[in-house]
């Protein structure tokens, strides 16, 4: 065995440029495969952690997934609002521990504006039941106070006390501005990796206030209520978009869900966020599975390349193999020599890919968290990823047998004098 | 790089959205009546486990009205007997040592007496509470279990499919010690894990 | 009693599945210590005979004994073992493994054969010493020992190959046109050292060449046409 390993290594070293390139291409394909697998599992985790402490999400009757998308991920728009009275009914229900209303629809330079109450900062939990934390400042106290997420602050360069103007609606550019009622940044939140980072939070009263002199999506002609007078008006909210609810006892969640779904005064939808996210994920999983399949194909391409390279090299090595036979290497040794060479490249490539992935993880994790809101907790491989890695190596070993077998046949036919 | 990542992000989200919106029309709404489909709610609260099953009667019985003759009444009793045998329907992690505390069955078109367990039988009335005019009818079952070692409980194997061949799919929602989750169960995939 | 290194009688070989080619050797015997010159051009059955002696091929009929061992009775892997244990082989050109150093090439038989390793260590403390001594005896500069073989001239390469064939004292050396790639001066030089070594180490040598002029260096010369009958149809 020892002469075999020695020869296999010497031979591989002799052709290190070609085999090195093969190892790199296998490393890249392994990186892709493991990376996709890693993203798959971790994205799912961070997905389901995005609203960990909330028992129910309430909105107007729509599909559970759509409600989750707009209420939790701020994707898409709500079709209907729910009445403030409905919210109060829920908030005052004896089984409810806390209720946080949110009101969506306006934006600030592309970022969502969320009207809510200060309870939001006390009850909204994510990941392992972490609460929102302030990088600086404090929750909104005055009507024209705003609390901005980490991305908003970073990308627009906001600091405490800065004055900002909100847009009406949530499209793109060219939106009408609530220019007459500027807000003051009262707090900046720490990064969470959630939609919160890309949101501007103001009070429900502020939402009412900036729309006092608006009707049908445009300022009312001839009417302008200056900011300093808005306090004289009734700013009690009339409608909200959605609500997050925490229960006193987890056990009552299905009962509460039924209670809300059967609410007579208004068609409401109560969704268990964890359940809805699982359902959403089962739809998205078609995409993630295709991604995984594609990367598995890339690995297959890498391994075929390896076989092709070793096979192509076999022609030039005919004489060398005959020499080895003349000094005592049997056809089986020749077989193993080629098989080991292939396996070495596969193992080297796989390990290189693993290292590359870990290195990449260290660099990319913060970027993903910043830009996609996907927080990848650690880059320790999941059991499934290890299994994939072993599978790649086992497949690599199997395909390495192909050139081994060819060499075996060749050396049987050639004997000591290669026919060239 | 930043731009690329952001583009990828929005692309992924766009795909998710379009795929997510597509099935909205056929998304299962609470209370929908689909033959072959049932919903299961599982709540694990400390040592107590509560399971609710909501199913069109057809899945369990083959018809959805009050029984019209003795043979049909016999079918209803047989169904009720199976549903009362909860330990054959739900297999818990053995180490958790969970046992059935109570089981309640309820259906608008079936007499409570027919649905009572063998032990209680004869207590209720044999006449249906509702008129059989409604073309569709459901059965709601609630089971309460108590576990001696709840921390050992890691999942439930649902064997409803073996007992009721009319059941093809169960949408299960679980509220467990690790939060909420959902699963689609089928005769091939019968495990709930958390 | 004189020991027969090669004893062939009534041997018939045919390529399986290839009609037409047929090699038959009524009798061929080589005694220990003989230096035999086999003269014959290609097509005279030369490579087939060498493959038979090397144990790569087995005859369909007749006796094939090398060092009193009946090669026809051995399995193919035992024949591989037998070859490396007892026979040193030397070819026309490209005898060396390109990715190994000069010394590693010489050491190759010892890597596959316990017997060759032990015999090499009888006269030297280490295998490397043994290899270096052989290289020196064959007139190679020891500074070359660590060099890759691709850096050597053809003449030097053939000497390295000769050293490898001699490494670990095999009883028999079979050389197939080892000098054909060398010019006349180098041929004589190479033959001198090779024969000298075989003499000193009491090794039997079978030397095959088409070049009749080389026959004078050997104590026995045989024409392949006389030795064996080959019938072959034109392809």
Domain boundaries, chain C: 34-56+75-227
Q: Do A415 and C164 touch (CB under 8 A)?
A: no
- Provide residues of B within 8 Å CB-CB of chain A: 1-2, 5-6, 8-9, 12-13, 15-17, 19-21, 23-24, 27, 30-31, 41, 43, 45, 48, 50, 52, 173-175, 179-184
Strands A242-247 and A56-60: antiparallel
Percent of chain B, pLDDT > 90?
46
Angstrom distance (rounded) from CA A242 to CA A271: 11
Q: What share of chain C is helix, strand, coil (3-state, %, to 5)?
A: 45, 25, 35
A129: left (phi over 0), alpha (psi -120 to 50) or beta: left
Q: Do chains C and A touch (3 or more CB pairs under 8 A)?
A: yes
Q: Give the other-Cβ count within 10 Å of C90's Cβ.
A: 24
> Is the pLDDT assigned to residue A133 strictly greater than 80?
yes
Residues of chain B predicted below pLDDT 70: 1-32, 118-135
Q: Do chains A and B touch (3 or more CB pairs under 8 A)?
A: yes
Residue A17 touches partner C, C-beta closer than 8 Å:
no
Angstrom distance (rounded) from CA B102 to CA B117: 10
Choose the mutation target among C42, C112, C161 for the interface with A, i.e. most A CBs under 10 Å: C112
Is A366 or A26 the better-scoring residue by pLDDT?
Answer: A26
CB pairs under 8 A between A and C: 72
In Å, how far is A284's CA from the nearest CA of chain C?
Answer: 52
Q: Do A66 and B30 touch (CB under 8 A)?
A: no
Angstrom distance (rounded) from CA C59 to CA C48: 10
3-class secondary structure, C75: coil
Q: What is the mean pLDDT of residues A212-240?
A: 79
Q: Which of B177, B174, B180 is nearest to B96 (CA)?
A: B177
Angstrom distance (rounded) from CA A13 to CA A1: 18
pTM of structure: 0.67
* Mean pLDDT lowest among A159-173, A217-231, C10-24, C218-232: A217-231
Give the domain C34-56+75-227 fold: Rossmann fold (3.40.50)
pLDDT for residue A256: 94
The overall average pLDDT reported for chain A is 85
pLDDT for residue A372: 58
C203 phi/psi in degrees, rounded to 5: -110, 135
Residue C127 touches partner A, C-beta closer than 8 Å:
no
> Is the pLDDT assigned to residue C96 strictly greater than 50?
yes
pLDDT for residue C40: 80
Q: Are C22 and C60 in contact (CB under 8 A)?
A: no
pLDDT for residue B187: 93
Chain A residue numbers touching B2 (CB-CB < 8 A): 367, 371
In Å, how far is A372's CA from the nearest CA of chain B?
Answer: 5
Q: Do A272 and B173 touch (CB under 8 A)?
A: yes
Out of C47, C76, C108, name the one closest to residue A327 (CB): C108
Q: Do C91 and A328 touch (CB under 8 A)?
A: no
* Mean pLDDT lowest among A27-31, A119-123, A322-326: A322-326
3-class secondary structure, B88: helix
Chain C residue numbers touching A18 (CB-CB < 8 A): none
Chain C residue numbers touching A320 (CB-CB < 8 A): 97-98
What kind and span of H or E run contains A285?
helix A273-316
Q: Do B182 and A278 touch (CB under 8 A)?
A: yes
pLDDT in tens, A357-409: 888 877 776 776 666 555 555 556 778 888 989 999 999 989 999 988 988 88
Is A140 or A225 the better-scoring residue by pLDDT?
Answer: A140
Quote the tokens at residue A165: 């103007």
Where b means 16+ CB within 10 Å and e means fewer, A324-335 reads bbbbbbbbebbb
pLDDT for residue A1: 60
pLDDT for residue A259: 93
Q: Which of C205, C209, C218, C222 is nearest to C33 (CA)?
A: C205
Interhelix angle A331-371/A383-414, nearest 10 degrees = 150
C contact chains, 3+ CB pairs < 8 A = A
Residue A329 touches partner C, C-beta closer than 8 Å:
yes
Percent of chain C, pLDDT > 70?
95
Q: Which of A376, A369, A275 is nearest to A68 (CA)?
A: A275
Interface pTM, i.e. ipTM: 0.85
Residue C157 touches partner A, C-beta closer than 8 Å:
no
CB pairs under 8 A between A and B: 89
Q: Which of C53, C57, C43 is nearest to C14 (CA)?
A: C57
pLDDT for residue B1: 43
Quote the tokens at residue A27: 């490393």
Q: Do A328 and C109 touch (CB under 8 A)?
A: yes
In Å, how far is C54's CA from the nearest CA of chain A?
Answer: 8
Quote the tokens at residue C130: 């043994």
What angle is formed at CA A311 by the lines to CA A305 and CA A316, rounded to 5 degrees?
A: 130
Q: Do A66 and B24 touch (CB under 8 A)?
A: yes
DSSP class of residue A266 equals S
DSSP class of residue A380 equals P
pLDDT in tens, C56-77: 888 888 899 898 889 888 888 8
pLDDT in tens, A253-305: 999 999 999 999 999 999 999 888 888 888 777 888 888 899 889 999 999 99
Q: Do A327 and C84 touch (CB under 8 A)?
A: yes
pLDDT in tens, A34-76: 888 887 777 777 676 677 788 999 999 988 888 988 888 887 7
pLDDT for residue A376: 55
Percent of chain A, pLDDT > 90?
36
In Å, how far is A63's CA from the nearest CA of chain B?
Answer: 6
Chain A residue numbers touching C48 (CB-CB < 8 A): none
What is the Cα gyration radius of chain B? Answer: 20
Residue C99 touches partner A, C-beta closer than 8 Å:
yes
pLDDT for residue A283: 78
């Amino acid at each position: 065995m020892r002469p075999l390993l020695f020869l296999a290594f010497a031979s591989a070293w002799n052709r290190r440029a070609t085999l090195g390139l093969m190892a790199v291409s296998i490393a890249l394909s392994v990186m892709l495969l493991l990376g996709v697998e890693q993203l798959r599992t971790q994205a799912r985790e961070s997905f389901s952690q995005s609203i960990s402490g909330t028992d129910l999400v309430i909105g107007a009757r729509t599909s559970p997934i759509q409600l989750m998308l707009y209420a939790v991920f701020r994707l898409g728009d709500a079709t209907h609002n729910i009445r403030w009275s409905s919210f109060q009914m829920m908030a005052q229900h004896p089984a409810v521990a806390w209720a946080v209303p949110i009101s969506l629809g306006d934006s600030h330079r592309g970022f969502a504006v969320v009207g809510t109450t200060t309870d939001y900062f006390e009850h909204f939990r994510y990941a392992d039941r972490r609460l929102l934390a302030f990088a600086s400042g404090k929750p909104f106290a005055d009507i024209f106070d705003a609390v901005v997420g980490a991305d908003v602050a970073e990308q627009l360069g906001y600091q405490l006390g800065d004055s900002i103007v909100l847009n009406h609606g949530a499209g793109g550019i060219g939106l009408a501005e609530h220019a007459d009622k500027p807000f003051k940044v009262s707090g900046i939140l720490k990064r969470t990796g959630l939609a919160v980072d890309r949101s501007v939070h103001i009070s429900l009263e502020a939402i009412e206030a900036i729309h006092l002199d608006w009707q049908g999506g445009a300022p009312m002609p001839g009417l302008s209520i200056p900011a300093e007078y808005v306090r004289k008006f009734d700013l009690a909210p009339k409608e909200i978009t959605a609500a997050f609810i925490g229960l006193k006892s987890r056990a009552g969640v299905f009962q509460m869900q039924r209670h809300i779904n059967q609410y007579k005064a208004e068609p409401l939808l109560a969704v268990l966020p964890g359940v809805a996210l699982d359902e959403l994920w089962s739809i998205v999983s078609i995409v993630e599975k295709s991604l995984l399949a594609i990367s598995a194909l890339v690995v297959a391409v890498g391994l075929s390349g390896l076989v092709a390279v070793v096979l192509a090299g076999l022609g030039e090595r005919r004489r060398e193999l005959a020499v080895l036979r003349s000094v005592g290497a049997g056809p089986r040794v020749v077989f193993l020599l080629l098989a080991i060479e292939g396996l070495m490249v596969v193992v080297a490539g796989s390990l290189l890919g693993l290292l590359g992935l870990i290195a990449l993880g260290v660099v990319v994790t913060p970027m993903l968290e910043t830009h996609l809101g996907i927080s990848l907790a650690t880059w320790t491989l999941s059991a499934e990823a290890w299994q994939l890695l072993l599978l790649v190596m086992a497949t690599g070993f199997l395909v390495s047998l192909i050139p081994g077998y060819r060499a075996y046949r060749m050396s049987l036919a050639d004997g000591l004098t290669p026919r060239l | 790089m930043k731009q690329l990542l952001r583009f990828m992000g929005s692309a992924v989200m766009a795909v998710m959205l379009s795929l997510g919106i597509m099935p909205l029309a056929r998304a299962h709404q609470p209370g929908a009546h689909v033959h072959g489909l049932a919903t299961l709610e599982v709540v694990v609260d400390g040592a107590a486990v509560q399971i609710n099953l909501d199913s069109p009667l057809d899945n369990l019985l083959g018809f959805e009205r009050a029984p019209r003759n003795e043979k049909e009444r016999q079918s209803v009793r047989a169904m009720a007997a199976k549903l009362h045998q909860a330990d054959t329907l739900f297999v818990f992690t053995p180490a958790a040592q969970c046992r059935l505390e109570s089981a309640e069955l309820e259906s608008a078109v079936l007499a409570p007496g027919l649905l009572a367990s063998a032990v209680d039988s004869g207590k209720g009335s044999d006449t249906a509470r509702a008129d059989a005019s409604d073309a569709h009818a459901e059965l709601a079952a609630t089971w309460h279990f108590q576990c001696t070692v709840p921390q050992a409980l890691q999942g439930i194997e649902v064997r409803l499919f073996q007992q009721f061949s009319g059941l093809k799919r169960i949408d299960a929602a679980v509220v467990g010690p690790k939060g909420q989750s959902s699963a689609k169960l089928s005769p091939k995939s019968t495990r709930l894990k958390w | 009693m004189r020991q027969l290194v090669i004893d062939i009688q009534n041997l018939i070989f045919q390529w399986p599945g290839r009609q037409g080619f047929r090699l038959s050797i009524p009798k061929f015997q080589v005694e220990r210590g003989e230096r035999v010159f086999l003269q014959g051009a290609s097509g005279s059955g030369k490579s087939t005979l060498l493959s038979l002696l090397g144990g790569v091929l087995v005859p369909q009929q007749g006796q094939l004994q090398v060092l009193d061992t009946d090669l026809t009775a051995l399995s193919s892997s035992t024949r591989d073992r037998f070859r490396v244990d007892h026979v040193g082989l030397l070819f026309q050109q490209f005898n060396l493994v390109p990715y190994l150093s000069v010394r590693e090439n010489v050491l190759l038989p010892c890597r596959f054969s316990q017997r060759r390793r032990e015999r090499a260590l009888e006269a030297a403390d280490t295998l490397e010493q043994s290899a270096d001594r052989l290289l020196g005896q064959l007139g190679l500069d020891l500074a070359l020992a660590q060099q890759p073989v691709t850096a050597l001239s053809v003449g030097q390469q053939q000497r390295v190959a000769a050293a490898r064939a001699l490494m670990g004292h095999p009883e028999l050396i079979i050389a197939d046109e080892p000098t054909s790639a060398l010019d006349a001066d180098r041929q004589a030089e190479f033959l001198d050292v090779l024969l000298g070594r075989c003499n000193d180490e009491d090794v039997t040598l079978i030397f095959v060449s088409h070049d009749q002029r080389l026959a004078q260096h050997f104590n026995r010369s045989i024409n392949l046409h006389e030795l064996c009958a080959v019938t072959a149809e034109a392809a």
